[in-house]
Amino acid sequence: MIIEALIAVTFLAALVTFVLPDRYAGKAAFALSLVPVVGSLFMWQQYDASGNALLGGTAAFETDVVWLQLGQYDLHWMVGVDGISMPLIVLTTILSTLAIVSAWTPIAERQSQFFGLMLFMEANLLGVFTALDFFVWFIFWEAVLVPMYFLIGVWGGPRRKYAAIKFFVYTNIASLVMFIGFISLVFGLGDSISSLRLPEIAQALQAGQLGGFAGLSAGALASVAFIAMFFGFAVKVPVAPLHTWLPDAHVEAPTPVSVMLAGVLLKMGTYALLRFNFTMLPETARSFALPIALLAVASVIYGALLALAQQDLKRIVAYSSVSSMGYVILGLIAYTTYGVGGATFQMVAHGLISGLMFMAVGVIYNTTHTRMVTDMSGMADRMPVTAGIFVAGAFGYMGLPLMAGFAAEFFIFKGAFESTVMEAMPLFTGAAMFGIVIVAGYLLFAMQRTLFGPFKFDGDYEITKAPFHDVAPLAVLLLLTIVLGVSPDIFFTMIQDAVNPILELGGAF
Amino acid sequence: MTLLQTVPEWTATAPAIVLAVTGLVLLLIDTIDPDTSSNGVLAGTATLGSLTAGGIAGWFLTQGTGMESTGGAITLYGDALVVDGMSLFFTLIFTSVAAMVSVASYDYLAGRRYQGEFYSLVLFATTGMTLMAMSNSLATVFVSLELASLPSYALVAFLKKNRGSIEAGLKYFLIGALSSAVFAFGISLVFAVTGSLLLPDIAANLSVGSDLVGVLGLGVLMIAGGFAFKTASVPFHFWAPEAYEGAPAPVSAFLSSASKAAGFAVAFRVFTVAFPLGTVTTLSGGSVDWSLLFAVLAVVTMTLGNFAAATQENVKRMLAYSSIGHAGYALIGLAAITVDGGVANGDVLGASMAHLLVYGFMNTGAFLFIAMVEKWGIGRTFADYNGIASKAPIAATAMTVFMFSLAGLPPFGGFVSKYALFYSAIESGFWWLAAVGAVNSALSLFYYSRVVKAMWIEEPSKSLEIGSQPVGLYVAIIFAAVGTVLLLPGFQPVIETAQTVAAALF
């Protein structure tokens, strides 16, 4: 019942915060959000799952009760946690709390609604990462969009309406396509399943129960479903060329929302790709290895090049997410322990580091009211702590050893080189590695021009040190990044344990 | 022996009796001292009466009154009325809507004349709806339909000094009278063919065989027209936008939720009991395949309703058209009934009933929010709704819940009820009907989210003043919102009951 309690407490916290007067909302939201943090850490401490929850493993804290009996397929309330979801749950709770703290300064109006929505989103995110029934999972998946729409649309920058609607339309259409893809799989399985529980579906697919449907053969149906689901999730990730909603959403969203968007929401896409496409349809995935690897490399290089071309610090970080998430796709398609495990590890690492970078940009913006690289120079003189953390975060992004980003990228590249999915995989890996160079390029470029050199600022604001509560979340994130980099085994062993059953499928990998 | 088996059978009509008596008591209260404004007492009495009736219906439902577990449907008065699970289920919908409308009217009517009459008209109309759901004879169908309609005409025209209201009332009345005539003529044709008005007898006489299939077909078509009027379905829908827009908003809520559900209640019973598909499609002289008729009506109704709603600038009118769209979804319940080897599958009918229950909450809530906005005197266009959330966040949150739920977005009741409806249609082999419904549903998100966008994201164009905080309206709206949300996790008992009672019809 601990998962239900976690979700329920977060929903309740959202409700309480929503009706509180604005004055108390920020502090109350922070205090209340500590409960899920403690809860998720307690879960982690009590964690006793083994294997992959979808492939016959034991999920921790599992609940499985029939919720809705409707025709042939029962809908179950099924939640559980395995080695893939556990790190993401810890990431979600911690990052939510830090994002809430980082919202104290920039959010000046309608605070109770803002913080209520943040907690509401957190609750739904926890649901996404724990649900093991498609229907329940889909409800949470879609429900995340609703608070995000408001958070961008109400508290965002000048073009917030456009960005909010674009985000909503893109991701909603993507969800519909994905839904159709998944449901066609269900119809193809026919009588071999009695519910929409993901383990049941995954195992029925593994057992070769997929039949034809609507004139399509089983193989064609699997391909169509794979493409539809891949499209749906790729928009969320986002994979180039489906990424165009992301820079708009990021630039217009207030800092804490960008943190959640980059830190957790993008992971919904890769998490779902891993759970659905790469776990349920490994054969099909392998047959699409070439186009997927191409997309991954394109995301890495194109995203990085776009970041290189930006003058807006936030846009730089936003495009760099496209690049980093490209690594995740590359790791997934490698189909090796290090590849898929590294991809999962990168989800957490990127969550921490991109959160850190967005917050750092946010802190600079709170003081200077500008994000343009051309408007400032030598900021390190006036805000040394923020600048220091910014530099450290950038190093993490570039993959400096002993930081989480290094471990993640190392795992992914190792796994991708070992991959036997296709002949040309080392070639793609090499091309993707070139992305690191560009990342180093644009980050060093941005830092050198904004933070260092003689102090110069085109604006009327006085540049002062950031308040403690702005910098503290940055410090926590930096600390976590280093801890995860020094000791990746905190998560990597449990990830490997959950990933290996995926790789054993078919034995060919 | 349970209590229900020791009391006389007519007590099964207790919900209808309570509603009728409450209506009379309201008139009595108003008569005692017509000059003082005892709005609170009147609203309280009306709400209490509705809740009591609803409570009794709910209790009957859990006790199995009129259902197979306690010996099957209870027929009364020469089989003219029947109390079974379906009639109780629909009574639950009518009474919850009536209760919400009564609570909300407390504020809406403040300072207006004829308050006692308003509440008693609502209660009498609800009585008529309850009787519609219980009708087992075309004669009682007709009479109870009129009992539900006549108070509605007066309610629509309730704002005597408002031209829109008067016009709406007149239009509603004229089209209502016309469709009543059509309906009555249809009944007479069916009587001519089958020699009976009792629904089960009609079916029995049809199965014997008849040469007058053409006349029967015409009769069925005309009866379907009568229902199309009551449920605001194409082609008898065009009164709805005018009437819903012109009527006082609580009345719009009442008509578009309860009255529509009543139309469906009686349509479901008449078509499944009197004209069972297995019989009417295999008549000696031809076939009267009304499921095809309803499939066409469903597609046309939902598409027309949704497209028209998408082009509106007036929120109340948009909701009126969207209400037509929802009639289209509910029609899937009749369209997708299948007869497989002589056994009809009514799962989709049950899903349609469950959707109507959820709809009762979300649509009533949406119209009551409009009642609140009308009370604040803000205006009716989307632009007038700009920035409401900054002044009234709780009410705007509730409205957001209604809008997203009506659009079928998780995590609200409308999502799961639409899913159940479309899923059941696919299961019956009507996947194209479900596909049209799903596309329409996706389209509807466009105009529903416009309201949400206006309330939360747009800046108010002019200074937005919100006067009072109407308690009754708030209570009703929050009740509806909580109901809409809770119907997602709590959908199992609803769909289970609905499908069980629907199956009992066949």
Structure-block tokens of residue B185: 């003529």
Report which of B214, B373, B346 is spatially closest to residue B272, judged by C-alpha positions.
B346
pLDDT value at residue B446: 85
What is the DSSP-derived secondary structure letter of residue A208?
T
Instruction: For B393, name the nearest residue in chain A, comparing CA atoms only.
Output: A113
Q: Are B450 and B370 in contact (CB under 8 A)?
A: no
| Distances, alpha carbon B3 to alpha carbons A385, A491, B62, B71, in Å | 77, 62, 13, 14
Instruction: For A139, name the nearest residue in chain B, comparing CA atoms only.
Output: B410
pLDDT value at residue A509: 43
Q: What is the pLDDT of residues B245-261, one digit of tens each?
A: 888 888 899 988 888 89
Does the residue B309 lie in any domain?
yes
Residues contacting residue A303 through CB under 8 Å, at least 6 positions apart: A240, A243, A319, A320, A321, A322, A323, A324, A325, A326, A435
Task: Give chain B's radius of gyration (CA, Å).
Answer: 22
Amino acid at A67: W
Does the residue B486 lie in any domain?
yes
Instruction: For A214, name the nearest residue in chain B, comparing CA atoms only.
Output: B431
- Residue of B390, B409, B492 lying closest to A69 (CB–CB): B492
Amino acid at A509: F
- Residue of B415, B445, B457 lying closest to A164 (CB–CB): B457
3-state secondary structure B286-312: ECCCHHHHHHHHHHHHHHHHHHHHHCC
Q: A110–B415: do the CB atoms touch at under 8 Å? A: no
Report which of B392, B407, B321 is spatially closest to residue B358, judged by C-alpha positions.
B407
Q: Where residue B343 falls among pLDDT bands split at 50, 70, 90? A: low
Please state, for a pLDDT cut of 90, what percent of chain B lies above it: 10
Instruction: For B459, name the nearest residue in chain A, comparing CA atoms only.
Output: A154
Give 3-state DSSP helix, strand, coil % of chain B, rounded to 5: 75, 5, 20
Q: How many CB pairs under 8 A join A and B?
A: 62
Q: 3-state class of A105 per DSSP?
A: coil
Structure-block tokens of residue B118: 């308003």
pLDDT value at residue A508: 42
Name the minimum distance, in Å, from the CA of A34 to any CA of chain B.
25
Q: B456–A146: do the CB atoms touch at under 8 Å? A: no
Q: What is the pLDDT of residues A3-22, one digit of tens each?
A: 999 999 999 999 999 988 88
* Rounded average pLDDT over B385-403: 87
Report which of A228, A77, A218 is spatially closest to residue A140, judged by C-alpha positions.
A77
Instruction: For B499, name the nearest residue in chain A, comparing CA atoms only.
Output: A70
Structure-block tokens of residue B172: 């509603």
Residues 147-176 of A with CB under 8 A from B: 150, 153-154, 160-161, 164-165, 168, 172, 176
Residues 174-203 of A with CB under 8 A from B: 176
Q: Which residue has the higher pLDDT, A509 or B97?
A: B97
Low pLDDT (below 70) residues in chain A: 506-509
Q: How many whole angstroms separate alpha carbon B11 and alpha carbon B2? A: 14
Does the residue B398 lie in any domain?
yes
Does the residue B33 lie in any domain?
no
Q: How many whole angstroms separate alpha carbon B182 and alpha carbon B235? A: 13
The residue length of chain A stands at: 509
pLDDT value at residue A348: 93
Q: Which residue has the tokens 């807006």?
A: A312
Contacts of B442 in chain A (CB under 8 A): 176
* Rounded average pLDDT over B369-375: 86
Q: Are B99 and B50 in contact (CB under 8 A)?
A: yes
Report which of A390, A409, A497 is spatially closest to residue A53, judged by C-alpha positions.
A497
Does the residue B232 lie in any domain?
no
Q: Which residue has the higher pLDDT, B31 or B18?
A: B18
B199-208 and B163-194 are packed helices; what angle lies between their axes, rounded to 10 degrees? 40
Name the minimum distance, in Å, from the CA of B472 to any CA of chain A.
19
Q: Are B413 and B358 in contact (CB under 8 A)?
A: yes
- Residue of A71, A110, A165 lying closest to B347 (CB–CB): A71
Which residues does residue A68 pair with via DSSP β-bridges, in sequence order?
A75
pLDDT value at residue A276: 92
Q: A153–B453: do the CB atoms touch at under 8 Å? A: yes
Indicate the pairing of strand B343-345 with strand B338-340: antiparallel
pLDDT value at residue B2: 57
Q: How many whole angstroms separate alpha carbon B231 and alpha carbon A295? A: 51
pLDDT value at residue A272: 94
CB atoms near residue B38 (< 10 Å): 17
Task: Name the interface residues of B facing A (CB cutoff 8 Å).
Answer: 347, 351, 389-390, 393-394, 397, 404, 409-411, 415-416, 419-420, 423-424, 427, 442, 445, 449, 453, 456-458, 488-489, 491-492, 495-496
CB atoms near residue B340 (< 10 Å): 10
Q: How many whole angstroms separate alpha carbon A126 and alpha carbon A80? A: 11
Q: Which residue has the tokens 């590294």?
A: A342
Name the minimum distance, in Å, from the CA of B245 to any CA of chain A.
29
The b-or-e profile of A86-96 (16+ CB within 10 A means b, else e) is: bbbbbbbbbbb
Q: Which residue has the higher pLDDT, B467 or A500?
A: A500
Structure-block tokens of residue A466: 């950031």
In chain B the first and final C-alpha atoms are separated, in Å, by 28
Contacts of B492 in chain A (CB under 8 A): 67-69
Residues 89-118 of A with CB under 8 A from B: 110, 112-113
pTM of the model: 0.89
Return contacts of A473-477, CB within 8 angstroms, 24+ apart.
Answer: A473/A98, A473/A99, A473/A101, A473/A102, A473/A359, A474/A356, A474/A359, A474/A360, A474/A363, A474/A386, A474/A389, A474/A393, A475/A389, A476/A94, A476/A98, A477/A98, A477/A352, A477/A353, A477/A355, A477/A356, A477/A359, A477/A393
Domain hosting residue B489, numbered range: 289-505
Name the minimum distance, in Å, from the CA of B434 to any CA of chain A.
13
pLDDT value at residue B275: 82
| Distances, alpha carbon B218 to alpha carbons B136, B225, B272, B291, in Å | 21, 10, 17, 15
Q: How many whole angstroms separate alpha carbon A230 and alpha carbon A207? A: 22
Q: How many whole angstroms separate alpha carbon A83 and alpha carbon A44? A: 10
Q: Is B110 exposed, middle or buried (0-12, 13-18, 19+ CB in 10 A)?
A: middle
Instruction: For A172, name the nearest residue in chain B, comparing CA atoms only.
Output: B442
Report which of A397, A412, A414 is spatially closest to residue A304, judged by C-alpha positions.
A397
Q: A154–B456: do the CB atoms touch at under 8 Å? A: yes
Residue B120 has pLDDT above 50, yes or no: yes
CB atoms near residue B5 (< 10 Å): 10
Does the residue B111 lie in any domain?
no
Contacts of A18 in chain B (CB under 8 A): 393, 397
| Cα A204 to the center of its chain, rounded Å | 28
Q: Are A282 and A416 in contact (CB under 8 A)?
A: no
Q: B489–A67: do the CB atoms touch at under 8 Å? A: yes
- Residue of A69, A113, A176 lying closest to B393 (CB–CB): A113
| Distances, alpha carbon B286 to alpha carbons A105, B210, B224, in Å | 76, 10, 19
pLDDT value at residue B392: 83
Q: What is the pLDDT of residues A80-134, one digit of tens each?
A: 999 999 999 999 999 999 999 999 988 888 889 999 999 999 999 999 999 999 9
Q: How many whole angstroms separate alpha carbon A413 and alpha carbon A56? A: 29
B85-108 and B471-486 are packed helices; what angle lies between their axes, rounded to 10 degrees? 150
pLDDT value at residue B342: 57
Structure-block tokens of residue B260: 């529509």
Q: How many whole angstroms separate alpha carbon A213 and alpha carbon B119? A: 55
Domain hosting residue A231, numbered range: 2-506
Structure-block tokens of residue B164: 């829109």
> Which of A22, A139, A149 would you mutate first to test chain B, the one with the most B CBs within 10 A?
A139
- Residue of A19, A67, A154 lying closest to B492 (CB–CB): A67
Q: Is B208 exposed, middle or buried (0-12, 13-18, 19+ CB in 10 A)?
A: exposed
Q: Which residue has the higher pLDDT, B207 or B294?
A: B294
pLDDT value at residue B1: 43
Residue B337 gets the label, from left (phi > 0), alpha (psi -120 to 50) or beta, of beta
Q: B457–A68: do the CB atoms touch at under 8 Å? A: no
- Residue of A139, A160, A161 lying closest to B415 (CB–CB): A139
Does the residue B473 lie in any domain?
yes
Instruction: For A163, name the nearest residue in chain B, comparing CA atoms only.
Output: B457
CB atoms near residue A32 (< 10 Å): 21
Contacts of B411 in chain A (CB under 8 A): 124, 139-140, 142-143
Does the residue B483 lie in any domain?
yes
| Count of domains forming chain A | 1
Dump the DSSP string for B357-368: HHHHHHHHHHHH
pLDDT value at residue A234: 93
| Count of domains forming chain B | 1
Q: A18–B397: do the CB atoms touch at under 8 Å? A: yes
Q: B445–A172: do the CB atoms touch at under 8 Å? A: yes
- Residue of B409, B423, B458 lying closest to A70 (CB–CB): B423
What is the DSSP-derived secondary structure letter of residue B459?
P
Q: How many whole angstroms separate alpha carbon A360 and alpha carbon A226? A: 38
